Amino acid sequence: MKNQKQTLKEYYWRHREEKIAKAAAWNKAHKDEPSYRERMRWHQRKHVYGITKSEYMLLFEIQNGLCAICKLPETQTKDLLVDHNHFTKQLRGLLCNKCNKGVGLFQDNPLVLHNAATYLERK
């Protein structure tokens, strides 16, 4: 006997193309709505980083709305970005766009970042 989850999964795969087309049409029709963009941003944060809106807002409050590295507010994007360890998937904090890119360009490697700081401190 099939359980409900199996039945729903089979239904989805039988109607997959139709469901994808319907979702794409809905997204296209609503993509310019601020509420749609906001919902999608929170959905992505939950899906990719596993962080809910309330968890994000708590972290934002703990950091006083400032980047965890440069201690400045975000100026380029609307919100601070969720930073995580790419190996352990653990959440590290919220970063501004510039610091997030910088950490990524240094490949999340503390030794390389330390070497960069040492280099910058030279005369």
The DSSP code sequence of 16-41 is HHHHHHHHHHHHHHHTT-HHHHHHHH
Give the Cα separation of 121 and 123 in Å (integer). Answer: 7
pTM for the structure as a whole: 0.68
Q: Please check the confidence at residue 111 and state whether its pLDDT lies above 90.
A: yes
Residue ranges per domain, the chain? 52-121
Structure tokens at 97: 């766009």
pLDDT score, position 1: 61
**DSSP state, residue 80:** P
Tens digits of residue pLDDT in 21-68: 988 888 788 777 768 778 888 888 998 888 999 999 999 999 999 999
pLDDT score, position 25: 87
CATH no. of 52-121: 3.40.1800.10
